[in-house]
Amino acid sequence: MRQRAARDQKRLDSGAVSSPKDLENLQREIASLAKRQGDLEDVVLEVMERRESAQERVAELTERVGSVQGKIDDATARRDAALEEIDGETASVTKERGVVSGSVPAPLLSLYEKLREQQGGIGAAKLYARTCQGCRQELAITELNEIRSAAPDTVVRCENCRRILVRTSESGL
Ligand SMILES: [Zn+2]
């Protein structure tokens, strides 16, 4: 476009254009080209401004991605450490359980396993302050009396949830 305007201007300056009509046409074309050039320069300016603001946004977002990634890495490391700890604990509890279950009479162990399955994973509960810690119900006086008079090796169970009750010095008997 600039080349065309320069060429037109050259023709105009050289005096090669003879007729007034041609002259007028040429001048009009030069003016129109100048206006278009101005418009295009405005567009270029606007595009450059938009590109600059987009680059700023990219830099900002890149920084945020970096910070979020740092948090993810941190959380992942903590999760992995916790999992490792849980695995270690599971192994030690499983081993302990094996030792304990070996000393429990078979019929009691199978009753416990059956109750555990029926009662959401808890087959035996502590009797604490006259309350079954399995179902959180306070035992009735008659039930407490029965438990009180039962021999220490008698298996006592909660009347409400049927879990095996474990008696301790804190049972409130
Ligand atoms: Zn109970």
* Contact between 165 and 156 (Cβ < 8 Å): yes
> Band of the pLDDT at 169, cuts 50, 70, 90?
very high
More confident residue, 152 or 52: 52
pLDDT value of position 8: 84
Q: Which two tokens stand for residue 74?
A: 């941190």
Residues with CB under 5 A from ligand 1 (ion): 132, 134-135, 158, 160-161
Report the distance separating Cα 56 and Cα 41, nearest Å.
23
* Contact between 137 and 131 (Cβ < 8 Å): yes
Report the side by side order of strands in the sheet with 164-166: 131-132, 124-128, 164-166, 156-157
Question: Does residue 90 carry a pLDDT above 80?
Answer: yes
Residue with tokens 């604990």, as numbered in its chain:
89
Q: What is the mean pLDDT of residues 93-118?
A: 93
Q: How far is the CA of 138 from the centre of ligand 1 (A)?
A: 8
More confident residue, 115 or 22: 115
Q: How far is the CA of 93 from the centre of ligand 1 (A)?
A: 25
Q: How far is the CA of 127 from the centre of ligand 1 (A)?
A: 9
Bridge partner residues of 124 (DSSP): 164
Q: How far is the CA of 114 from the centre of ligand 1 (A)?
A: 15
Between 9-13, 43-47, 69-73, the lowest mean confidence (pLDDT) is in 9-13
* Contact between 122 and 169 (Cβ < 8 Å): no
Q: What is the mean pLDDT of residues 110-133?
A: 95
Nearest to 160 by CA among 32, 47, 49, 133: 133
* Contact between 165 and 147 (Cβ < 8 Å): yes
Report the distance separating Cα 113 and Cα 122, nearest Å.
9
Q: Which two tokens stand for residue 129?
A: 């302050």
Between 6-10, 60-64, 88-92, 121-125, the lowest mean confidence (pLDDT) is in 6-10
The pLDDT > 90 percentage for the chain reads 79
- Residues recorded for the chain: 173
Q: What is the mean pLDDT of residues 37-53?
A: 96
Q: What is the mean pLDDT of residues 134-142?
A: 95
Q: How far is the CA of 17 from the centre of ligand 1 (A)?
A: 113
Q: How far is the CA of 47 from the centre of ligand 1 (A)?
A: 75
pLDDT value of position 19: 84
Question: Does residue 18 carry a pLDDT above 80?
Answer: no
Q: How far is the CA of 110 from the centre of ligand 1 (A)?
A: 19
More confident residue, 153 or 60: 60
Q: How far is the CA of 163 from the centre of ligand 1 (A)?
A: 6
Question: Does residue 67 carry a pLDDT above 90?
Answer: yes
